[in-house]
Amino acid sequence: MTDHNPLRVLFLGRQNAARSPMAECLLNAIGTGRYSAYSAGVEPAGAVHPHAIELLSKNKLAVDKLRSKDWQRFAAPGLLELDFVISVCDLAPEAINAAWPGNPILAHWAHADPCAESGDEADVRRAFFNTYNQLFRRLTIFASLPMDKLDRVVLKSRIDEIGLRDG
Q: Which one is the CATH code of 7-164: 3.40.640.10, 3.60.21.10, 3.20.20.70, 3.40.50.2300?
A: 3.40.50.2300
Domain boundaries, the chain: 7-164
pLDDT digits (tens, 9 = 90+) for 99-129: 788 889 999 898 889 998 988 999 999 999 9
Written as one string, the DSSP assignment of 23-79 is HHHHHHHHTTTSEEEEEEESS--SS--HHHHHHHHHTT---TT----BTHHHHSTTT
Tell me which residues of the chain have a pLDDT lower than 50: none
Beta sheet of 7-13, edge-to-edge order: 35-41, 7-13, 84-87, 105-108
- Return the C-alpha torsion angle 68, 72, 78, 80, nearest 10: 40
Rounded Cα–Cα distance for residues 82 and 1 (Å):
11
Can you give the length of the chain in residues? 167
In whole angstroms, what is the distance from residue 24 CA to residue 9 CA? 8
* Predicted TM-score of the model (pTM): 0.93
* Residue 79, pLDDT score: 80
